[in-house]
A = this chain, B = another copy of it.
Amino acid sequence: MTYQEILENARTCMGPYCKSCPVCNGLACRNTVPGPGAKGIGTGFIRNYQKWQELCVNMDTICENKIVDTSFTLFGQKAALPVFVAPVGALTLHYGDKLSDLQYNDILVPACADAGIAAFTGDGTNPAVMEGAVGALKRSGGCGVPTVKPWNMEAVREKLELVKTADPFAIAMDIDAAGLPFLKNMTPPAGSKTVDELRQIVEWAEKPFLLKGIMTVQGAKKALEAGASGIVVSNHGGRVLDQCPATADVLPAIVDAVGGRMTVLVDGGIRTGMDVFKALALGADAVLIGRPFVNMVYGGGAEGVKVLVEKLKSELADTMAMCGAHTLSEIKRSMLYGF
């Protein structure tokens, strides 16, 4: 199947909310929650997407004509390109009952491993979700990043013990999940964590630890102070708080503050290999992409994952060649117009 065919197929089986739009930009779903939309009036998602489109690249083809290498290594895990699948949860609720979280992970995790990338898996109030993810990760040799929600400390510790049994190459926590309704009113309280609490969690993890949901220089510095190996500059696709700036807006200053001392990933509205190039040019080490992989899994299963990975890799390589970068490390901020 082609990318277009998979997208069309997804349109037939994604419940009432997601429209499997030709371009996944947050306009058709806006503030549709449940559904793929964003919180509040839905501008968080739209801004994320839009900002990448405003950035322009500096084409320069007076250079050697050689093979472009898009390969990337994160904490020892090799990837065919600097792209990971973002964690998505509550699939049935938001994307229709074709797939449960467990079924989704069972397709996604091995498909990513086969396609040369790795998936971040999500978490949920139902313990079976993380157990299922751990099972899928085990079967793929730990090729994935389980993402633990910021439960209370005791619950976090238990989840970490569980996920470590899959021997993943990294573990993440989406600290901004504090903004999700279902986490808010738990007893004992879930949500925000202090630097001291995070330091304890990092210690428990015994794996490279990624803090996802950083949107300020100050937050990035606290993550560094807590001992995280990396951060994901992210506003959770606009789903935890409305009216955040675009991740592309805040990325450069965060890279300037902590880049080189920790890994900096970014997500939010990244849709093409061109967008991936721009994120790397702004200083990110790699990116996460979420919703489009859901469309691919619903519409094409493992094949869908493969097709999107190939599309992204091809677009990234093309952009790199046209801007005169032949390895990821040659991508510079000066390859963006006006920078």
Contacts and interface: CB of A to CB of B under 8 A. Distances in A.
B63 A192 contact: yes
Interface in A174-204: 175-176, 178-179, 189-195, 198
Given A57-B243, A241-B318, A223 B178 contact: no
A189 B65 CA distance: 8
A243 B315 CA distance: 12
Contacts of A179: 59, 61, 318, 321-322
A132 to B, nearest CB: 27
A93 interface: no
Task: Give the number of copies in the complex.
Answer: 4
A183 B327 CA distance: 21
Interface in A310-339: 315, 318-319, 321-322, 324, 337-338
A96 interface: no
A248 interface: no
B249 A337 contact: yes
Main secondary structure of the interface of A (DSSP, over half): loop
28 contacts: A40-B272, A40-B315, A41-B272, A55-B243, A56-B243, A56-B244, A58-B216, A58-B244, A59-B176, A59-B179, A59-B216, A59-B241, A60-B215, A60-B219, A61-B150, A61-B175, A61-B176, A61-B192, A61-B213, A62-B192, A62-B219, A63-B192, A63-B194, A64-B192, A65-B192, A176-B322, A178-B321, A179-B322
Interface of A: 23, 40-41, 43, 47, 53, 55-65, 150, 175-176, 178-179, 189-195, 198, 211, 213, 215-216, 218-219, 222-223, 226, 235, 240-245, 249-250, 272, 274, 278, 315, 318-319, 321-322, 324, 337-338
Given A23-B41, A56-B245, A244-B57, A175 B62 contact: yes
Nearest to A278: B243
Contacts of A315: 40
